[in-house]
Amino acid sequence: MEKNSDTSRQGSEQTKGRKTWVCRRLVLSGKIVATLHPVIGPLYWEYFDNSDCNAPDSYGITEHIESAHIFKSGSYRSSFDSFLSNIFSDAYADIYTDEWNDESGEPEGNHLLTSLAEKAGSTPSEFMQWIVDATWVEYPAPPKVYFLADFNGHLGYRAEWSEQVSDALHWDQTVFESDDLDEQLARTLGELVPIECAEEIPTIRRELSSVNHPLMADVAYTMHRLDLVGLGVDKWSVNYKEIACTHAARAGIDYVRSGDYGPISPHIVGFPMLLNVFNMAASLKRYEVNKNNLM
C-alpha cells in the first residue's frame, strides 16, 4: 500500500509501469431529505461526522445537492425527528448568539444559515421558523463515489473515506492476494478498481415503480391514525407516518416522470399531509427536470 502523498500520486520510479488500484464505494440508491424554498430553490439536510477531531457531530441545511447527507433508503425514518431536532439545535445555537447587530436588532450568526436567510430576504429568526414549518421529503440522491483514504487507528481502526480520488490510498496488483491487514480490509470494504477509471459512475436508469405508492401511502397513514394498542399492537414499533410520507413523495416524483398530467390519486388527495408531501416531491422533480433541460 502506498500512502496518498504528492509523491505517490505522481508515481515513483519503483511503481512506474505497474497498474495502480484504489478502493472505492459507490452509492447508487441512497436518499436525501429536501424541500423547495420559493426564493432559494431546493434545500437539503447535511451532516458532518467530526469524530476524527474529537468534536461533536454537526447538522445543517445546504443548497448544494452534492453536500447533502445521503441516507440508505428509509434508514432515516426511525430517527427523522431526532435528525431534524439536531438541525434546529445547531441552528439555534448559531443564530441566537451573544452578538447582536446594532442596526437590525437581529443576532449575529456566522453559519451558512445566516447567508441562506439573506438570500431568502428574511431575518435569521424568520428563516429558522420557515425551516420548522417546511415540508421535508425523501428524495433520490444523485450517484456518488467515495474513496478509501486512510485507516484511523485512533478510532478503532475505522476506515476513512473521501470524495476526492487524489486522497485515495494506492495499491498494486498484490492487493488481491496479500495477507496484510489493511489490504484484506480494503478487499472487503469496497470495490478495487484501476485509478484511471475510479471516478467513472455507471449510468442509472430509474424505471417507473410498479408499486402503487398512493395506495401504500394511504394504508400506512391509516395505520398511523388508528389506535392499535387495544389490539395488542405496538403502533410505535413501526413509524407508519414516515412510511406514508415516503410513499407519498415517491408518488409525486412518479407523477412528474409519467408526464405530469391527470388527476392526483384520491388516496393522496384525501389527506392534507400526504398531499403536501406529494406536491413538494413533485415540485422538486419539476425543478430538477427544468434545470437539466437548461443545461
Kindly report, residue by residue over 194-243, the tens digit of the pLDDT: 999 888 887 767 677 789 999 999 999 998 888 665 555 555 556 788 88
Residue positions counted in the chain: 295
Backbone angles phi, psi at 6, to 5 degrees: -60, -35
Tell me what pLDDT residue 33 has: 92
Q: How far apart are CA 37 and CA 86, in angstroms?
A: 20
Contacts 24+ apart (CB under 8 A), 161-166: 161/25, 165/22, 165/195, 165/198, 165/199, 166/4, 166/9
Q: How confident is the model at residue 137 (pLDDT cuts 50, 70, 90)?
A: very high
Q: d(Cα 240, Cα 276) in Å, to the nearest integer?
A: 17
Per-residue confidence (pLDDT) for residue 49, from 0 to 100: 75
Q: Over 70: is that where the pLDDT of 109 sits?
A: no
Give residue 61's identity as a one-letter amino acid code. I
Q: So what's the pLDDT on residue 187?
A: 82
Instruction: Please give the order of strands across the beta sheet that includes 31-37.
Output: 58-62, 41-48, 31-37, 137-140
HSE value, Cβ hemisphere, 13 Å, CA-based, for 264: 20
Nearest residue to 23 (alpha-carbon basis) of 184, 189, 137: 189
pLDDT at 99 (0 to 100) = 56
pLDDT digits (tens, 9 = 90+) for 229-250: 555 555 555 678 888 999 999 9
Task: Please give the radius of gyration of the chain, using alpha carbons only, rounded to the nearest integer.
Answer: 23
Contact 8, 150 (CB under 8 A): no
